[in-house]
Structure 1
Amino acid sequence: MTIEVTHEQVVVEHRRPQGRRRRWEHRYRIVLLVADGLAAAAAAFLIHAAYGRWAVALMLPPMWIVAMLAHRTYDRSTLGLGAEEYRRVLRGAVALPALAVVVYWLFMHDSDFLHDMTMAAVPVTAIALPVRYTLRRRLHRRWARGRDRSATLLVGPARGVVELVAVLRRGGVQELQVAGVCLSDPENAGETRKLGIPFLGGLGDMNDVVRALGISTVVALPVAASDATALRRMSWTAAVQGVEFLLAPVLSDVSAARLAVRPTNGVPLMRIQAPNLSRTSRLPKELLDRTLAAALLAVLALPMLLVALIVRLDSSGPALFRQQRVGRYGDHFTMLKFRTMRPDSEALRAELEHLNQNSDGLLFKVREDPRITRVGSILRRSSLDELPQLINVVKGHMSLVGPRPPLPEEVEGYTPDIKRRLLVKPGLTGLWQVSGRSDLPWEEAVRLDLGYVDNWSMGLDLSILVRTGSAVVRGTGAY
């Protein structure tokens, strides 16, 4: 396989130096700069109103933008991505007082100015972060409508393409819009066609495809039969065409926070940080889980009593359903839920085995299950049946966020890889819930849980909690 970089292509690149650079990036950066300037001006007004000094009103906006530039909050790698962008904003806010010290010693020599700039770090951050979040949501809505997205060509083996597309689609709306694939194994093109992705040729056709379809991003996957020279030529072709060239890692379910480039003798080696699952690192999660669960129980005590009464009046049997589940390290505990089925539901399970919606794995789920009561159907669609699990969280058996709590018979069928789910506490919500719940194939549910275990962070937990509200409202997969 060869990809030629011709003199004609070089001439084209000189005539069109910007290539197919995304038009929205320039506009978005300008909007962010203006938004940061206005956020800083609003914070400066608050400080001026409190202390009656104008120096901070004049100096805060440019100093804030300098801090944001220094911490690369406008970089292409963070635009529209959220978590990393917010972390850089917070680091810039922490650096703002230090920048004020430099200005103080070099120019101002005014202790009031130093005090005001230090006090301004909190309000400017409190204003800037929600503004950036709003802008990011607006950009995502544009992507969801098919606007400002990047026409993307995937290059590599069919199996790797299928796995990458599954990860991209699982992540929700994003910038990359797959226009087609050029495969290193064209004989397996049927695998990508099943996903609705056009097959556009082999690796040698990449140049023509990029030129013909107006591709703006090329994503190359590892190819067993391809060497470094071939990848280098691909990158040259992408550069000549003025498109972005991305190299997908072999491991697709690794968060960016765990990846780092470690140069060794000129070779850029990729370092993958081990999952951080120590007791010390998870102590803040434990405190947040139990504190928030206890607060929610105090607020929801009366509504939960009302739900329990309605369950008892709707059908015979106890209001609470108790079932043995498996927690962290394989320990068993009794999970609590509001009862949503008839008391003889377990005895009827064998008769409904042929209706199992998850026959590809260990789960048992039946859409329109005849064992579910009238009130139970409402509780399941609204996820209210899971509220008693807050008691399990307070007791320490579960977490607010984590993998789905499995049954003992499910765990007996786990392979060694799947048992990694048991390294953390099961959760009241998790990636499985915000990604489709019972509608997910077994293999995808396992992938989500293992990805959560390997990539856990407090930021990931908070993002899942935020997404849980909309998932409950949609009710997708809740049956």
Structure 2
Amino acid sequence: MSTVDATRAATVQPTASRGRCIYRIVQVTADLIGLGLALLIAYLIRQSVPGVEHANDLSNHLGDGVWALALGWLIAIALMGGYNPRFATTGTEIYSAILRATVVAAGFSGIALFLTGQPLSRVFFTIFFMIGPVFLLASRFVIRRVINGMRARGHLQSRVVLVGSMPHVDAIARTITRETWLGYDIVGAITPPHDPRRRSRLGIDALGTTDHLADIVREHRPSVLLFTAGSMMTSDEFRRIAWDLEAFDLDVIVVPGMSEIAADRVMMRPVAGLPLVHLEPPRARASLSWSKRAFDIVSTAAGLILISPLLLAIALAVKLGDGGPVLFTQQRVGRDGQLFSFLKFRSMVPDAEKVRAQMLENADRDRGNAVMFKMAEDPRITRVGRVLRRYSLDELPQLWNVLRGDMSLIGPRPALPSEVESYHDDAHRRLSVRPGITGLWQVSGRSDLSWDETVRLDLFYVDNWSFAQDMSILVRTVRAVIASEGAY
């Protein structure tokens, strides 16, 4: 191991256990501050309630049991996994842990106060357990954003060694390279003895074979050892490697053979020493449920009423811009291949479709999406249209498409008939649900994405639909629109 590599190993990332310890200290400190603020707010509100006799009595009993409430709450959070670093940067598990801990802490605290006869105000108790979760959830959201933001900028990196054959290593490396917020710095790969390649197509060097895995880990000191699909020949071989790794301070991650499956569709149940994975079927049919349709209708109707003045202002701006039509109507492919009239505020010159064939000749100016035609500097876009596109205001008439049942608020982007003709077999699954105004494509880069990435995201949405995911996409859409990422 060279001097440069040794220095890099020491500075890029501390040991895995130290990193976990730092995270827990920061999170517990944030929780103490949050609960302290919740105590103060609950106290002030309780003291200001009109008509409550002997309001000052609360201060006499505040020190008797209130700090026990906070301590019990912190213990409940720890027991529910609220301080697990593995949940800190992705997923909803850490937020679910806070909600479960709140219910447990409130229940046990209420019972304890009743049994011990503590005269703590019920108003104070209720407000405390209503405000406290807000601070607890907010602190985790902020810490997550800070950690992921720093990782995306090249800080807080974890040295990771990939274990597996070179094709599997490249497949995982593409995701790691794309998702910079994961904070993984790939050191190299450890390959099976039967794989003679010393470098992958992506340029990842082989550090050695699995026969010498422990020696390689000792030399390169990774924080994470990530086993790709098919990296071990037998379960006994993997068990022996796990024994060899017992003395090392690192995180071991195993990537199963299945991918693009949401965590809530997978349940592991050890049976007779075998880690059996139970997999729920895809949820394309569930995304067509009456509850999703009801949410679309109610939300869209309310939204149209609220933004009607904005719609009128945009219509006037488009009309006065060049005197052309306000709306742009186009045939798009909806659920099960059915065509429908797709509505947008016109953002291009009136004869934009006539000159599209000429634009297709400039394929070198396209941003790389081989199926969906998008140009970063499309000369057909009007001055008003450029503003509309920057903030996705041109999409607002599609709310009418949602009311009519052609589209949903969230789903894959509706495709042109010419695009569908270019679909490969897997891509046709995008048509099994209603297309959406927004979706994973919209919040993950939009027009900057390649066609393969677009299909991957849409298929993930179709197969793993959930109402919680829809709400997450709506929130992320607001952020994506404000940032104008990939909008052109």
| TM-score calculated relative to the size of structure 1 | 0.86
Could you tell me how far apart the structure 2 residues matched to 1:279 and 1:204 are? 47
Q: Which amino acid aligns with 1:20?
A: T
Q: Deviations over 1:141-187 (max 9, x none)?
A: 33234333321111112222232233344545124332222334343
Q: Which amino acid aligns with 1:39?
A: G
2:20 paired residue number: 25
Structure 1 residue 156 corresponds to structure 2 residue 164:
yes
Match of 2:112 among 103, 107, 111: 103
1:67-216 → structure 2 map (5 Å cutoff): 67-104=76-113, 107-109=115-117, 117-184=125-192, 185-187=195-197, 189-193=199-203, 197-204=204-211, 206-216=213-223
Kept after mapping to 2: 8 A contact 1:73/1:89: yes
* Cα RMSD, aligned residues only: 2.8
2:329 paired residue number: 322
1:309 paired residue number: 316
Could you tell me how far apart the structure 1 residues matched to 2:438 and 2:213 are? 43
* Range with greater deviation from structure 2 (61-70 or 181-190): 181-190
Q: Deviations over 1:258-300 (max 9, x none)?
A: 2221122220111222234455995444344333333333333
Residue aligned with 1:77, SS: helix
**Cα distance 1:171–1:290, how it changes in 2: closer, same or farther (>3 A)?**
farther
1:426 paired residue number: 435
The alpha-carbon deviation at position 208 of structure 1 amounts to 3.9
The alpha-carbon deviation at position 120 of structure 1 amounts to 3.2
The alpha-carbon deviation at position 218 of structure 1 amounts to 0.4
Kept after mapping to 1: 8 A contact 2:370/2:451: yes
Residue aligned with 1:478, SS: coil
Kept after mapping to 2: 8 A contact 1:392/1:398: yes
Could you tell me how far apart the structure 2 residues matched to 1:412 and 1:352 are? 19
Q: Deviations over 1:97-138 (max 9, x none)?
A: 321244246x42458667754553221112221122122222
**Cα distance 1:286–1:130, how it changes in 2: closer, same or farther (>3 A)?**
farther
Match of 2:478 among 448, 469, 478: 469
Could you tell me how far apart the structure 2 residues matched to 1:172 and 1:292 are? 34
| TM-score calculated relative to the size of structure 2 | 0.84
Could you tell me how far apart the structure 2 residues matched to 1:453 and 1:280 are? 8
Kept after mapping to 1: 8 A contact 2:69/2:109: no
Overall identity of the aligned pairs, in %: 37
Kept after mapping to 2: 8 A contact 1:24/1:148: no
Q: Which amino acid aligns with 2:38?
A: A
Residue aligned with 2:353, SS: helix
Kept after mapping to 2: 8 A contact 1:238/1:244: no
1:219 paired residue number: 226
**Cα distance 1:360–1:478, how it changes in 2: closer, same or farther (>3 A)?**
closer
Could you tell me how far apart the structure 1 residues matched to 2:180 and 2:297 are? 30
1:437 paired residue number: 446
| Dislocated runs of 4+, deviation >6 Å | none
2:415 paired residue number: 406
**Cα distance 1:358–1:420, how it changes in 2: closer, same or farther (>3 A)?**
farther
Match of 1:350 among 342, 357, 377: 357
Could you tell me how far apart the structure 2 residues matched to 1:141 and 1:352 are? 37
Q: Which amino acid aligns with 2:297?
A: R
2:254 paired residue number: 247
**Cα distance 1:104–1:225, how it changes in 2: closer, same or farther (>3 A)?**
closer
Could you tell me how far apart the structure 2 residues matched to 1:171 and 1:462 are? 22
* Range with greater deviation from structure 2 (286-295 or 154-163): 286-295
**Cα distance 1:380–1:360, how it changes in 2: closer, same or farther (>3 A)?**
closer
Could you tell me how far apart the structure 2 residues matched to 1:283 and 1:122 are? 32
Could you tell me how far apart the structure 2 residues matched to 1:382 and 1:119 are? 39
The alpha-carbon deviation at position 250 of structure 1 amounts to 1.2
* Residue segments in structure 2 that go unaligned for 5+ positions in a row: 1-13, 48-54
